[in-house]
Structure 1
Amino acid sequence: MTRPHTRAWLGLLVILCPVFLVSMDGSILFLAMPRIGQALSPTADQALWILDVYGFAVGSLLIAFGNVGDRYGRLKLLMIGAAVFGAASTGAAFAPGPELLIAFRALMGLAGATLLPSALAVLSELFPDPRRRAQAIGVFAAAFAAGFAIGPVVGGVLLERFWWGSVFLVNLPVIAVFLVLAPVLLREVRATGKGRVDKLSVALSAVGLLLAIYGIKHAAADGLSVFAISTAVAGAVLLVWFARRQRGLDHPLIEFSLFRDRVFTIAIVTGLLPLAAWSAAAYLSGIHLQSVLGLPVLQAALLALPGAAVLTILCVVTPALVERIGKRAALVGCHFSIAAGLALLLMTGVTGGVGWYVASTVVAGVGYGISFSVVADTAVAAVPAERAGAAGAIAETSNEIGNALGIALMGSLAALVFRLAGPDLAPTLDGTLQLPGIAPAAAADAKEAFVSGLHTAVAVLSVLHVALGGLALRWLPHSEKALAPQASV
């Protein structure tokens, strides 16, 4: 009796290896970019691609690979993806120029897209009991959240001792452990009789997401232009085509009928908006701490640890919390917690605010931790076991899109407020505020303008979370039976 139980939890630990790496690599370059810039001398556009191409690839391919794993084998896809991730990490570490680094980062993102949905699906097979599965998904969500939160800190520590390529080589020991233990502890799982993967749907979802996100990011970096608008519109058109095509397929990549359920819809939006708030607040606060308050990059990263710890702990304890207070109260409460935490950033200023920043990450971290855990659990529990990979892909895609849109939309909003305030300067997407060779009075004005942009962005995000919390309070049923995960059949 205990041996299968022990094997399942050991299997979970093995699954967490690639999950942690995929999320950590989404943020580990935040502190490494200055060193990479010195070593490889990328152009401004290349630097943007080095930062963003990984997230583009992960976000645009998650849906496709969630379904590929369902049909052709989740463990097989995990093994292939982990091997490619390790090889691409090695290539990135020793890339002699920015072009090859961009290519290897894109390959890492492609491999990461194979890992996340398949890992979540294999996890659901390890824990058929709904209560155990909810606990395991909470740990899964905690590992994913912790990886993204700890990424900049790991990067800062490595960069103090080694060259910039070390932020990629750190992946290799973890990948090696996974490749050795996964075949021993994990079983192959695939859905049967589901037909062939619709290749056109794969292309439409991948290219549509890529173009839409890139168009928004390009507008955030360089302002509105014909190119940025046309790229985003082209992506949107492809995504509409993709959505319409799914309705006529016997085996669609996304079961859009799931969104008719208000509980599922609230859960997926809860996956998107908190990630948008988290990424935007982390990005803008990082600039504030470093460029406005003048803190060293590693010290700025360490200040995020209390919030990261709270977030991680909440991911783990959320299943038990949900049993005590109910999923409805947890979903509603997480949004008001995030709204309150974001509002605390309104107390930051040009000459101070470190304490308010730490308090903000801790208070909002409670809501982030709950949301990450509840979203994943709801997505997987809402579908039959054979569609677990696709459902997991929807949940993870909402996270990745939220992460991308948070920086793109809120970053551009902050930049707009910054420009309207007067100085002919703008925050850049590599996490710095450019203040070279200007008079002290102008620098002070620039810092004041940036703080105004930060306050505007977090105020908008806080209001959005209050609105979503109110909507959840109205829409979600009081009966826990309507919200509780059902056993897979």
Structure 2
Amino acid sequence: MYLLGVPTARGWLANASCRTVHDMSRQHSPGLRAWLGLLVLLGPVLLVSMDGSILFLAMPRISQALTPTAGQALWILDSYGFAVGSLLIAFGAIGDRYGRLRLLMVGATVFGIGSVAAAFAPSAEFLIAARALMGVAGATLLPSALAVLSELFADPRRRAQAIGIFAAAFAAGFAIGPVVGGVLLRTFWWGSVFLVNLPVIALFLVLAPVLLREVRATRPGRVDLTSVVLSAVGLLLAVYGLKHAATEGLSVDSVVIGIAGVILLVWFARRQRRLEHPLMEFSLFRDRVFTIAIITGLLPLAAWSATAYLAGIYLQSVLGLSVLAAALLALPGAAVLTITCIVTPFVVDRVGKRTSLAICHLSIAAGLLFLLATTITGGIGWYIASTAVAGVGYGISFAVVADTAVGAVPVERAGSAGAIAETSNEIGNALGIALLGSLAALVFRISGPDLAPTLDETLQLPGLVPALAEEAKTAFVTGLHVVAATASVLHTALAVLALRWIPVPSRTVPTRTLGPQGPR
């Protein structure tokens, strides 16, 4: 089908004759430069995603060195993700207007500067500012890299394969971040988790001008500064309100901040309808396939982040594993996820997006149910099985969402479309911890010994008797089960919705006139 007049990887061209497809594939076949350009782009993408999780293991060392308050520790972890999620839409549009390669070069340079500043931060406040600067740079890299990638691969099928590899790098970076951090911390000081970025950034700055070409919109128009501010501040306040409510409980401050963020986002959405050159093309959501795909970008990340966070606590605080051992147990799931990202375009080409999206959500739903077999005395095998089965669905979600977002719009709007896809990932990640994490905390407070708000705080209480420790662990595992079951039900519902909303692809060549929204 056509989305806004541009063929997707499974578009009308896939239904044309074999001769036509073969001729077009040969005409647009990417050369060595395209594949080398993809390889160069993967470096910054891997770093941006990896830096979202690499501090999970470094925080104890950072706390010893900089002695941050509880609030400062939260901001050290969250300032990076807040900046990335809040500015993706704005920088996707800015790259469309003023040049994506130029923005990539500036963003990579700033990311390197922020990494050095973070590595040698003398105080918690300085580290928070450096992490925020890295987040701003990361927001410039993701949508622009995806848009430049679409220029390298003109053929829809090759582009889908390249985007699958791109998505695999992004997913793998987030998955291996804690492992990389754990390995570095065994030998070096905590700042090494930031300095590891510098060789990759330096290589990118040298090779990118040689292998990549500048791409910008043919009619750039004017960047609406008000929309930039509304999208950035609105997302920041909304996500912060959710996270504050999740970690500190409902309060007047969290509710007011969250409502203010929602109001700004509504204002932003209404304003886009009146602009000739909007930051976000809300008209894309009129297409059900695109809408399902974007939800697929959000819900799996919510389930992944919440269960990964809770499973990490389960493996360490309940089963007593070391931090590095717990991180290494996630590698099988990460490997399945990465491989799935790469092979998904080939699968989609054979079975279609309708079936692929259904498989995606049903795989995640099934994988999450394996967590229901975990207990306070054992469950490592069930955890590995869960990450492996669900990893199939997570991998499909990364690849399908990115391909649909870029393939659904004209080339000159690819940066903004990529930003929507990446923003759905970032918001899903935040919502997973905020909402599903809060659900687990609520279950723990209701069914636990009610001695402290979290499992770790409870286990650290002096003079805690074994019976109460066991009760606390049981309550935590119950919360993990409730979250897994809830997410599984949501994914099953979304699979059913995908089968109902997405039409079965036609096997005949369409003869009707193609308009902006498809065949008439």
TM-score normalized by the length of structure 1: 0.96
Hey, which bits of structure 1, 4+ residues long, moved more than 4 A? 1-4
Work out whether residues 423 and 445 of structure 1, in 8 Å CA contact, stay in contact via their aligned partners in 2: no
Please give the secondary structure, in 1, of the residue aligned with 2:190.
coil
Work out whether residues 451 and 458 of structure 2, in 8 Å CA contact, stay in contact via their aligned partners in 1: no
In structure 1, runs of 5+ residues without a counterpart are none
1:435 aligns with 2:435: no
1:426 aligns with 2:453: yes
1:93 to 107, 119, 127: 119
Question: 2:18: which partner in 1?
Answer: none
Work out whether residues 328 and 480 of structure 1, in 8 Å CA contact, stay in contact via their aligned partners in 2: no
Equivalent runs, 1:197-236 vs 2, <5 Å: 197-236=223-262
1:11 aligns with 2:30: no
Task: State the alpha-carbon separation in 2 of the partners of residues 466 and 47 from structure 1.
Answer: 36
1:365 aligns with 2:391: yes
The alpha-carbon deviation at position 441 of structure 1 amounts to 1.7
Equivalent runs, 1:26-425 vs 2, <5 Å: 26-421=52-447, 422-425=449-452
The alpha-carbon deviation at position 194 of structure 1 amounts to 2.8
Please give the secondary structure, in 2, of the residue aligned with 1:90.
helix
Please give the secondary structure, in 1, of the residue aligned with 2:92.
helix
Please give the secondary structure, in 2, of the residue aligned with 1:161.
coil
Q: Summarize deviations over 1:312-368 as a string: whole Å, max 9, x none.
A: 000000011112222211011100000000111011111111100000000000000
> Who wins on radius of gyration, i.e. which is larger?
2
Call closer, same or farther: CA 1:481–1:75 in 2, change over 3 Å: farther
Task: State the alpha-carbon separation in 1 of the partners of residues 271 and 100 from structure 2.
Answer: 25
Call closer, same or farther: CA 1:28–1:480 in 2, change over 3 Å: farther
Please give the secondary structure, in 1, of the residue aligned with 2:459.
coil
| Partner amino acid, structure 1, of 2:355 | A
Task: State the alpha-carbon separation in 1 of the partners of residues 69 and 507 from structure 2.
Answer: 55
Work out whether residues 458 and 472 of structure 2, in 8 Å CA contact, stay in contact via their aligned partners in 1: no
| Partner amino acid, structure 2, of 1:152 | P
Work out whether residues 101 and 214 of structure 2, in 8 Å CA contact, stay in contact via their aligned partners in 1: yes
Task: State the alpha-carbon separation in 1 of the partners of residues 114 and 220 from structure 2.
Answer: 32
Q: Summarize deviations over 1:152-191 as a string: whole Å, max 9, x none.
A: 0000000111110000000000001100000000001111
Question: 2:6: which partner in 1?
Answer: none
The alpha-carbon deviation at position 440 of structure 1 amounts to 1.9
Task: State the alpha-carbon separation in 2 of the partners of residues 433 and 164 from structure 1.
Answer: 24
Work out whether residues 303 and 358 of structure 1, in 8 Å CA contact, stay in contact via their aligned partners in 2: yes
Please give the secondary structure, in 2, of the residue aligned with 1:32.
helix
| Partner amino acid, structure 1, of 2:471 | D
Task: State the alpha-carbon separation in 2 of the partners of residues 25 and 48 from structure 1.
Answer: 15
| Partner amino acid, structure 2, of 1:61 | L
Call closer, same or farther: CA 1:2–1:399 in 2, change over 3 Å: closer
Work out whether residues 287 and 433 of structure 1, in 8 Å CA contact, stay in contact via their aligned partners in 2: no
The alpha-carbon deviation at position 427 of structure 1 amounts to 3.2
Please give the secondary structure, in 2, of the residue aligned with 1:326.
helix
Task: State the alpha-carbon separation in 2 of the partners of residues 3 and 134 from structure 1.
Answer: 13
Q: Summarize deviations over 1:240-281 as a string: whole Å, max 9, x none.
A: 000000010011111111101100000000000001111111
Task: State the alpha-carbon separation in 1 of the partners of residues 459 and 68 from structure 2.
Answer: 20
Task: State the alpha-carbon separation in 1 of the partners of residues 453 and 200 from structure 2.
Answer: 39
| Partner amino acid, structure 2, of 1:312 | T
The alpha-carbon deviation at position 434 of structure 1 amounts to 4.7
Please give the secondary structure, in 2, of the residue aligned with 1:31.
helix
Work out whether residues 18 and 175 of structure 1, in 8 Å CA contact, stay in contact via their aligned partners in 2: yes
Call closer, same or farther: CA 1:299–1:108 in 2, change over 3 Å: same
The alpha-carbon deviation at position 480 of structure 1 amounts to 5.6
Task: State the alpha-carbon separation in 1 of the partners of residues 320 and 312 from structure 2.
Answer: 11
The alpha-carbon deviation at position 423 of structure 1 amounts to 2.1
Task: State the alpha-carbon separation in 1 of the partners of residues 121 and 48 from structure 2.
Answer: 20
RMSD of Structure 2 on Structure 1 (CA): 1.6
Work out whether residues 92 and 165 of structure 1, in 8 Å CA contact, stay in contact via their aligned partners in 2: yes
Task: State the alpha-carbon separation in 2 of the partners of residues 59 and 352 from structure 1.
Answer: 37
TM-score normalized by the length of structure 2: 0.91
Work out whether residues 364 and 390 of structure 2, in 8 Å CA contact, stay in contact via their aligned partners in 1: yes
Work out whether residues 30 and 152 of structure 2, in 8 Å CA contact, stay in contact via their aligned partners in 1: no
Task: State the alpha-carbon separation in 1 of the partners of residues 380 and 470 from structure 2.
Answer: 18
Work out whether residues 425 and 446 of structure 1, in 8 Å CA contact, stay in contact via their aligned partners in 2: no
The alpha-carbon deviation at position 2 of structure 1 amounts to 11
The alpha-carbon deviation at position 425 of structure 1 amounts to 2.1
Q: Which moved more, 1:459-468 or 1:414-423?
A: 414-423
| Partner amino acid, structure 2, of 1:329 | T
Task: State the alpha-carbon separation in 2 of the partners of residues 382 and 427 from structure 1.
Answer: 44
The alpha-carbon deviation at position 215 of structure 1 amounts to 0.4
| Partner amino acid, structure 2, of 1:79 | M
Work out whether residues 57 and 106 of structure 1, in 8 Å CA contact, stay in contact via their aligned partners in 2: yes
Work out whether residues 90 and 232 of structure 2, in 8 Å CA contact, stay in contact via their aligned partners in 1: yes
Call closer, same or farther: CA 1:268–1:433 in 2, change over 3 Å: farther
Task: State the alpha-carbon separation in 2 of the partners of residues 107 and 441 from structure 1.
Answer: 47
Call closer, same or farther: CA 1:236–1:16 in 2, change over 3 Å: same
Task: State the alpha-carbon separation in 2 of the partners of residues 454 and 442 from structure 1.
Answer: 18
Call closer, same or farther: CA 1:212–1:3 in 2, change over 3 Å: closer
Work out whether residues 291 and 433 of structure 1, in 8 Å CA contact, stay in contact via their aligned partners in 2: no
Task: State the alpha-carbon separation in 1 of the partners of residues 392 and 168 from structure 2.
Answer: 12
| Partner amino acid, structure 1, of 2:258 | A
The alpha-carbon deviation at position 66 of structure 1 amounts to 0.1
Task: State the alpha-carbon separation in 2 of the partners of residues 289 and 95 from structure 1.
Answer: 31
| Partner amino acid, structure 2, of 1:216 | L
| Partner amino acid, structure 2, of 1:404 | A
